[in-house]
Amino acid sequence: MFPRLNQPYALSFFECRLVSQALNQPIPPAAPKLRFATPSTSGDVNHKGVQWLLKRNCSVTPVQLLGFFMSLSAVSLGIATFFWFQGARMVMPFAWVELIAVGSAFVIYARHARDGEKISLCDGQLVVELEIAGRLQRAEFNREWVRVEPQDRDGSLIEVSGQGRTVRVGRYVRPELRPALAREIRYALRGC
């Protein structure tokens, strides 16, 4: 009926409520689960933290995009070469213009494929790293002096500010989920 003492046992909410009523103690509120973050440890048990990785949703990696572009180029140049030999000389220049336009669009896409935001909370420091088009921007904030708030109530970006610096995060989270992300960061700053 009762679990053995040498085995771990987790109480359900109902069992916790019965035990708290029997002991006349209030039920402790359940700690909110981290929806966007993952707990991180840096190898040392004393250095625990929380980390948020917010990345762009890319369906195609740059390597896959390169393979697709190479196959598209082979087909397009093959067709242009066929018409070149048939006497339609203007097909080849238009094929090259098409490939240059598509290739430049793919390069722009590939530069932004690895964009993301990394927010880390460890040892009293909140570190925000933004990677946009291969450039890394980093801002460090003291945990006690940070303010986290949505810029507006309409689901706009989250503003992290403190010590005279301001960083906007949440670009890669849907607008309706940004307030939840801001609450989660605030909860972690209070000492989860």
Domain that holds residue 77: 62-112
Domain count, the chain: 2
pLDDT digits (tens, 9 = 90+) for 51-61: 999 998 888 88
Closest CA to 171 of 137, 123, 122, 124: 137
pLDDT digits (tens, 9 = 90+) for 161-182: 888 899 999 888 888 888 888 8
Asked if 21 and 86 count as a contact pair (C-beta separation under 8 A), the reply is no
- On the CB side of 18, CA atoms within 13 Å amount to 4
Of the two residues 178 and 14, the one the predictor is more confident about is 178
Residues 124 and 181 in one domain: yes
Mean pLDDT of 49-75: 91
Residues 121 and 162 in one domain: yes
Return all residues near 54 (Cβ < 8 A) that are at least 6 apart: 36, 116, 117, 118, 119, 169, 170, 171, 172, 173
Residues 182 and 133 in one domain: yes
Residues 91 and 142 in one domain: no
pTM: 0.65
Residues 124 and 158 in one domain: yes
**pLDDT of res. 36:** 78
Q: Which amino acid is at 53?
A: L
* Within-domain flag for 161: yes
Lowest mean pLDDT among 19-28, 52-61, 67-76, 146-155: 19-28
Residue count (the chain): 192
Asked if 169 and 8 count as a contact pair (C-beta separation under 8 A), the reply is no
pLDDT digits (tens, 9 = 90+) for 92-124: 999 999 999 999 999 998 888 888 999 999 888
CATH number of 165's domain: 2.30.29
What span, in angstroms and rounded, lies between the C-alpha atoms of 112 and 77? 28
